[in-house]
Structure 1
């Protein structure tokens, strides 16, 4: 509804003029009080009232058509707005789905990195265990193989360093995974709040 105030139409003004003229003719007929004047004034009042009623009926019908057109236009604009909102919701859902897929891929790659680090740690532990067994064997034969004992200690240190480096890498990967998961859950809470 672009215009809330309805202007007076020619039909409504014409109907009012006809009714006022019918009242004046009726008053003249009453004042003159002769039968022919009363008959003419009565006939004029009836015809003027009928024409005024027809004019007002046409005016009301036109107002109803205009109101119906306004309601149809409003319904159409609401439908268009609803379609636009629906498209925006679908686009938003697609974007969020894509972000979730990217995060899932990142989590999968971090899990793969963590599994690799755990495998390396297990291998390093096996090497340390093997080196410790070798060192124990060399220490039992210390009198005959003093030089072999020294090299075994060096190998043991290397294996310990490798174990420490592997454990450090595992802790770093776990810390990164936890930090990423916290960031992801914080961002999810922020996006859907």
Structure 2
């Protein structure tokens, strides 16, 4: 607007005055614009710094959660391993009992064979040996049943432990 007045008037002092005014106003505008741009850049930098700090805080929290989860899963795996070891010990004990029962069965069979050789003179002894043999067979059957049950439990525990390890592995990959 001032430049238009200077052009319309057309005198040198007015042109010089309007030019000086236009230059001063332009410099002031440039300075204000520069200050505004600098403030916007400072605001953006502060926002980025706050975002980076919140991301860092979240990453630290996730890291702590991951460590706690890994420790908890390690404890669970250790507990499962202890349970599996206990079941394996139970299987060994059942196998020992089974071997002892088989030895008793073999001993009873030998006794039964000896009694059969003397069947004419010891019919009553033979009946008692048959009862003992049935008891031994019952013990053997009970031991074999216990062994099968313990083996089934061990397989179930091993499958559960394997599945848990697979889930942990999948979670780690995710």
Q: Give the alignment's TM-score, normalised by structure 1.
A: 0.80
- Number of paired residues? 170
Select 1:94's aligned residue among 51, 71, 78: 71
Which residue pairs with 1:169 in the alignment?
146
Give matches, 1:1-193, under 5 Å: 24-189=1-166, 192=170
* Counterparts of 2:54 and 2:143, CA distance in 1: 65
Q: What SS class does the counterpart of residue 119 from structure 2 fall into?
A: coil
Q: Give the alignment's TM-score, normalised by structure 2.
A: 0.89
Higher RCO (C-alpha under 8 Å, 6+ residues apart): 2
5+ long unaligned stretches in structure 1 = 1-23
* Counterparts of 1:82 and 1:156, CA distance in 2: 71
Which residue pairs with 1:4 in the alignment?
none
* Counterparts of 1:109 and 1:94, CA distance in 2: 22
User: Does the 8 Å contact 2:80/2:157 carry over to 1?
Assistant: no
Post-superposition offset of 1:189: 4.9
* Counterparts of 2:164 and 2:24, CA distance in 1: 79
How large is the RMSD of aligned CA atoms in angstroms? 1.8
